[in-house]
Amino acid sequence: MSMHRALLGAALIVGLGPLSVAAGDGVIEINQACAAAGCTPGDAPGFPVSLTASGSYRLTSNLEVPDQNTTAIELGSDADRSSIDLNGFAILGPTVCSSIGACSLLGSGNGIAASAGTTDVTVRNGRILGMGDHGVLLQNRDYVQGVTAQSNGGVGIEVGPFSSVIDCQAISNGGVGIRVDENTSGTAFDNAGESLIHGNLSVRNGRAGAGGDFQGGTDTGGNVCSDGTCSDGGHRRYYLTLEVVGGGAAGAACDAGFRVASVWELFNPGALRYDRSRGFSTDQSGTGPPVGWNGWAFVDSGMGDCSEWSDPAGNGGLIRLEDNPLLQTVGPWLTIFDSCASTGARVWCIEE
């Protein structure tokens, strides 16, 4: 090749600017330099880095946005089935959450955000810190693993139904730490339970009115949260209230995140976990539920529901664990009825 042709080729390369290139394995690289010029075809210079096609993407440097209203990476509707490997790097913004309920510089910027209808996105292996809103905001059928979302103004990590969040950390975010939402029907948490939440640390999250370490999803163990009550081993929690109430007041007796249980939900106590931090116990109950103590519960769909636990009239259902097999009517439980106006029973509550 002549010297003139070589110099011309070099000039053309320089003129293209610092566009990202595909590595030898076909992965498209994203970094701070290419963000300034446009990292992919169709990506305008500056933030957000717009991903407009399905592909495999990898950070090769930290990304730092200029303010709390700027999103770092945005997946368009044609970027289904994309994978983003943070590759140990961080996405950084200016927001600081110094303690629960105290975040500075709240805004609309997200670390990684998928457009409505963008599905099957994978994000892994890195940190997202200081965004004005969400750290990660995805839609449906997503997979997030090994991501730390810290000190973001909104939710740390949010996914839609049929998703997995595994081995992540959500620390001191302004909103919920890890949230599974139902983003397609418009009914919040309609099928959010059909997701997997496992092995995560989510602590000290939530500004006033938007708090909580976990929301939605199906907990299958190994999760840690601030109040120490995260379910373990895939066991749904239940308990018998400390407070004795009339049937008409049973619906308001359960803690947030719990509701009045049905006897059918409690049919097999061995598949559940009794929450001793909330529930009534005796010296003989050990780590399990107390035997022989009545509690309000749904027994059938007609008689016995205390008019949906809102009107203290008629008869309501009561159940108790019964160790005499001859007295058991539903699994290990004895079901009876009493006046909804009676004040002689606690309430069996189950995790929503």
Report whether pLDDT(191) > 80: no
Task: Indicate the pLDDT class of residue 194, thresholds 50, 70 and 90.
Answer: confident
Task: Indicate the pLDDT class of residue 11, thresholds 50, 70 and 90.
Answer: very low
What is the arrangement of strands in the sheet containing 73-75, beginning at the earlier edge strand?
49-51, 73-75, 112-114, 136-137, 157-159, 178-180, 214-215
Report whether pLDDT(346) > 70: yes
Name the pTM for this structure.
0.65
Report whether pLDDT(286) > 50: yes
Residues 211 and 241 in one domain: no
Task: Indicate the pLDDT class of residue 16, thresholds 50, 70 and 90.
Answer: very low
Distance CA 198, CA 218 (A): 8
Residues 294 and 151 in one domain: no
Tell me, what amino acid is at 111?
G
Considering the domain boundaries, does residue 12 fall inside one? no
Hey, which residues does 90 pair with through a beta bridge?
Answer: 127
Phi-psi region of 12 (alpha: psi -120 to 50; beta: other; left: phi over 0): alpha
Report pLDDT for 41.
85
- What's the rounded mean pLDDT across residues 54-70? 97
Task: Indicate the pLDDT class of residue 240, thresholds 50, 70 and 90.
Answer: very high
Q: What is the mean pLDDT of the chain?
A: 83
- Count of domains observed in the chain: 2
Residues 175 and 258 in one domain: no
Residues 317 and 197 in one domain: no
CB 40 within 8 A of CB 20: yes
Report pLDDT for 62.
98
Residues 197 and 273 in one domain: no
Q: Which residue, of 225, 252, 282, is where some domain finishes?
A: 225
Q: Which residue, of 199, 225, 251, is where some domain finishes?
A: 225
Report whether pLDDT(15) > 50: no
Residues 271 and 344 in one domain: yes
Residues 241 and 123 in one domain: no
Distance CA 136, CA 128 (A): 8
Residues 261 and 325 in one domain: yes
- What's the rounded mean pLDDT across residues 24-36? 90
Residues 164 and 277 in one domain: no
- Assess whether the previous peptide bond of 48 is cis (omega < 30° from 0): yes
Residues 198 and 281 in one domain: no
Host domain of residue 276: 237-351
CB 99 within 8 A of CB 172: yes
- Assess whether the previous peptide bond of 290 is cis (omega < 30° from 0): no
Considering the domain boundaries, does residue 4 fall inside one? no
Distance CA 125, CA 109 (A): 21
CA angle 56, 57, 62 (to 5 degrees): 165
Report pLDDT for 182.
64
- The fraction of the chain above a pLDDT of 70, given in percent, is 80
Q: Tokens for 136, please give them.
A: 């990660």
Residues 213 and 311 in one domain: no
pLDDT digits (tens, 9 = 90+) for 241-257: 999 998 888 989 998 87
Residues 182 and 256 in one domain: no
